[in-house]
Amino acid sequence: MNFEEYKKVYVTLGEEIEGECKVYIRKGQFTNYYDGIPMDLSAGIYEMGPLKIPCVIKKGTDEHPITPENYCAIKEFRHKNAVVVENFFKDGDKGCLVLSEVVGTFEGCLRRNLSLAFQQKCDVYKFSPALREMIVDFCKVVENLLKVNLFPRNITLDNLYVTCIGNRPVMKVLIYDVEKKEGLLPKQRCQMQERVWDEVKLTINSLCKNLDCLPLHHTTNKFLEYIGKDTIAKLDGYPDVWTYKDKEWYLFSIAAADRERS
């Protein structure tokens, strides 16, 4: 494999390292911690200078190729709930990404802990506070991408993972296929953002369907409908701990969005 000259600041060293990096791919498939089902990832070791870091490898396919352009567009993006894209290399004719560690899929995690993720009342389902927090974290990643003019094209359930901090699962979103758009007119930006948020909501609805947790309670549906309407910070506690002012701004944003579409 031919590796690009790569530079990265590691907090553990407090200094820059420059030079060739190596990736060692372990034999066998990477399995989902929560159900033991093989995932479309491989376990590996990412070596750079004196550092040897456990990582996972995402290999492109004919249907979903991974290109150097994908890597260049996303390599600088960082968020605590995003899978870090560390590097790119080619294995034969397939592009591969070196990623930070994950332990399993978001869906697998919820399926194993279904009673903790959903609250069932009278044959309808509500998101638990823990699940709502993870969905908000997912949305924060998307919001931060949009702020830097990166419009993701691969928002799917297959790209939602988790890692563990202690015994707590933490959302990790893998984004590697993005469009960089500068100088958009306000209407164009609004349309592109709306498409992205529609994909987010479709992904969450697909999750609920796969877990057989439908229909959703009306307050949970309202929570989903609000995604993309305002800043994601407003989703925290929605609508349980909103003040009257928050509710007033919510109604104002809905009315403004309706006028813009008409």
pLDDT tens sequence across 195-206: 999 999 999 999
The answer to whether residue 60 is domain-embedded is yes
Number of structural domains the chain divides into = 2
DSSP state of 31: B
The chain-wide mean pLDDT, for the chain, equals 85
Q: Three-class SS of residue 157?
A: helix
- Is residue 166 within 8 A of residue 73, CB to CB? The reply is no
Domain housing 174: 104-261
Q: Is the dihedral of CA 226, 163, 40, 38 positive or negative?
A: negative
Q: Which residues of the chain have pLDDT under 50?
A: 1-17
Measured CA angle at 138 (ends 137, 143), to 5 deg: 90
Question: What confidence tens digit (pLDDT) does each residue in 21-63 have?
Answer: 888 888 877 999 999 999 999 999 998 878 888 999 999 999 8
Domain boundary among 60, 84, 99: 99
Do 34 and 128 lie in a common domain?
no
Same structural domain, 155 and 177: yes
Q: Residue 26: which CATH number?
A: 3.30.200
Residue 254: predicted pLDDT: 55
Residue 241's φ and ψ, nearest 5 degrees, are -115, 20
What's the CATH number where 135 sits?
A: 1.10.510
